[in-house]
Structure 1
Amino acid sequence: MKSFREIVDESCSGSSGCEGLPSCVESHGNPRVPVRRAIRTLGNYLILTKPRVMELLLVTTAPTMILAHDGMPGLGLLILTLIGGALSAASASAFNMYIDRDVDALMARTEARPLVTGAISPRAGLIFAWLLAGLSSAFFWTFVSTLAAALSACAIIWYVVVYTLLLKRRTTQNIVWGGLAGCFPVLIAWASVTGTVSWTALILFLVVFFWTPAHYWPLSIRYGEDYRRANIPMLGAVRASHPVAVRVLMYAGATVFCSFALIPVAQMGVVYSVSALIGGGWFVAHAARYVVATSGQGAGKPMQVFLASNIYLGFLFVAVAADTLLQLQ
């Protein structure tokens, strides 16, 4: 199947003698060409927001709001909080791509990003990031709460300054402490409903905190060559697979332990308790199998642990929402 870019390029090639999009528009006045260019530009700006990362962060927001409200919160507040969170995460990602465009050019996984290829200029990318940052803070301040706006700003600052600028290129512990930015959505969600941050919210914060290295280190093993080429000291790129696998197992265990702590603190019911036990056991089993697989000369399959971590986090937070709603019946 042809790519979108190939289809557009073909519209300006062949017997017509067109050598580029502008001349093609001038020669033929084809109204579909500028539309295609606009769609491609919008797609490139969307890439700057890292939609898959945003999606993972937002999956923790709605269940946390349901737990904080002890039931389904107002639909309007739920939607507004999700929009604000998406804007905040998009801003942090756009800043990250602007700052890291030099090392992104060295890695096969990121060499096609818009700021690397020139599809979007660095100046335009930076302006876009600042616009999203201002919009997310103003949005939370106006429609949700002051505390939510402050937490959103802290999340952006932490990801951009602490992780991207200070830690990422200097220490193997970059994702441990830099990953705190990914924990803020649960605090924002809780604050959106209650106007405060409670012990329950902090436990959920710790669940995401310990989950993040267990989630990301297998990915850094898979793309270790990329990180070494770019001189970024991700743990999986600069250490042997087995000791990294052991640390993944330790952080997976800490994640599951924190998920159990939620049961007495938030008075979770049977649905959550059983789900946390089964899901946690499944996640830890994947991490343990990876430790065994890397104990000899084998490299194991780090992406299986990475995918398992994604499934586990989504499953756990769905259980949070389901347990809360079912207890109301």
Structure 2
Amino acid sequence: MSDIHANGSLGTGTAAGTGEAGFGDYVALLKPRVMSLVVFTALVGLLVAPVPVHPFITFTCILFIALGGGASGALNMWWDADIDQVMRRTKGRPIPAGRVQAGEALGLGLALSGLSVMMLALAANVAAGLLLGFTIFFYVVIYSMWLKRSTPQNIVIGGAAGAFPPMIGWVCATGSVSVEAVLMFLLIFMWTPPHFWALALFMNSDYEAAGVPMLTVTHGKRSTRNHILVYTILLAPVALAAGFTSIGGPVYLAISVLLNAGFLWGAWRIWRRDEAQAEADKYATEKSVFKFSLLYLFLHFSAFLLEAVLKSFGMGGW
């Protein structure tokens, strides 16, 4: 791994082409689709907190959290340029496509990391800045550099990095962590494995070619299907428990019951299938469950926000 990596992402440039970088390539380094999830969940965490925050402070906090998320993306692309070059869904990224030099991505990631952490600490509080800094470190060092290439539990433990944003938002408002922040964290943390394993079932050849020890590669697809069902079952009580806290309420709980029923049904359908069935319909069930999982998370956090709005009018909560 180290030899391949030295030839790839640690060099001054990587690969496949020598096109000139445009503004869009530097934006792509920040993983804007991932950043949108970071921004949304962090914003919800901030807005549902019991301490009101001035709109301008809210805007600046979310801006710096977004920059921190983008910094993580750029550093991840720098480190993973060698495997991105092999995988079909990532080989068009700026570094493996040769439009951005690896050193540029490293410099951008480090600069945005320092800027985002420092400015969030100034805009909100030191605890929020430190938590953002730890999140960047966790994603880049613990997940990308260590877990991703060394264990099939990569996405289980590494999923914590994507689960921190709502907690950061909450800490921006309150300066501390509470049970509500922990449950928002756990909701994303428990959601991440079945979400990514559904993707891995129909993208397994990419992970195999890149030598990434995804569960589908190390333990096979049957084991992965079992894991998806188990983690989806474990996810449901976490999601429902949030409904009985200060950020929940009957509206959230009703939405959560429906969403968890749908996700459990999808996980059950995945579990029942064998590879012959999956290949016959080109993994249609797995792809539909993967798409539903995105909706699942978005609607849960939208429900938190809806409860907060209803409470502001004296109608939400228990």
User: So what's the TM-score if we normalise by structure 2?
Assistant: 0.87
Q: Secondary structure of 1:266's partner?
A: coil
Change (3 A) 1:104 1:267: closer
Q: Match of 1:57?
A: 38
Distance 1:80 1:51 in 2: 18
Confirm whether residue 188 of structure 1 aligns to residue 188 of structure 2. no
Q: Match of 2:102?
A: 122
Confirm whether residue 206 of structure 1 aligns to residue 190 of structure 2. no
Match of 1:92 among 33, 58, 72: 72
TM superposition shift of 1:243: 2.3
Q: Secondary structure of 1:97's partner?
A: helix
Aligned length: 292
Q: Secondary structure of 2:239's partner?
A: helix
Does the CA contact (< 8 Å) of 2:247 and 2:304 recur in 1? Answer: no
Q: Match of 1:138?
A: 118
Does the CA contact (< 8 Å) of 1:145 and 1:192 recur in 2? Answer: yes
AA matched with 2:46: M
TM superposition shift of 1:266: 2.5
Q: Match of 2:24?
A: 43
Q: Match of 1:7?
A: none
Does the CA contact (< 8 Å) of 1:137 and 1:152 recur in 2? Answer: yes
Q: How does 1:263-278 map to 2 (within 5 A)?
A: 263-266=243-246, 268-278=248-258
Distance 2:63 2:194 in 1: 28
TM superposition shift of 1:240: 3.0
Q: How does 1:1-329 map to 2 (within 5 A)?
A: 41-69=22-50, 73-266=53-246, 268-294=248-274, 297-299=277-279, 300=283, 301-329=285-313
Change (3 A) 1:125 1:246: same
TM superposition shift of 1:296: 6.5
Query: Where has structure 1 moved over 4 Å in runs of 4 or more?
Result: none
Residue ranges of structure 1 left out of the alignment (5+ in a row): 1-20, 22-36
TM superposition shift of 1:237: 3.2
Output one character per residue of 1:164-221: Cα deviation in whole Å (capped at 9) or x when no partner.
Answer: 1111111100011111111110110110110101111111111111001111111122
Q: Report the structure number with the largest CA radius of gyration.
A: 1
> Could you tell me the percent identity over the aligned residues?
31
AA matched with 1:328: S
AA matched with 1:312: Y
TM superposition shift of 1:73: 4.0
RMSD over equivalenced CA pairs, Å: 1.9
Does the CA contact (< 8 Å) of 1:155 and 1:181 recur in 2? Answer: yes
Change (3 A) 1:182 1:267: closer
AA matched with 2:39: L
Q: Secondary structure of 2:95's partner?
A: helix
TM superposition shift of 1:297: 4.7
Residue ranges of structure 2 left out of the alignment (5+ in a row): 1-18, 314-318
Does the CA contact (< 8 Å) of 1:271 and 1:323 recur in 2? Answer: yes
Q: Secondary structure of 2:48's partner?
A: helix
Does the CA contact (< 8 Å) of 1:269 and 1:327 recur in 2? Answer: no
Does the CA contact (< 8 Å) of 2:193 and 2:231 recur in 1? Answer: yes
User: So what's the TM-score if we normalise by structure 1?
Assistant: 0.84
Q: Secondary structure of 1:114's partner?
A: coil
AA matched with 2:42: T
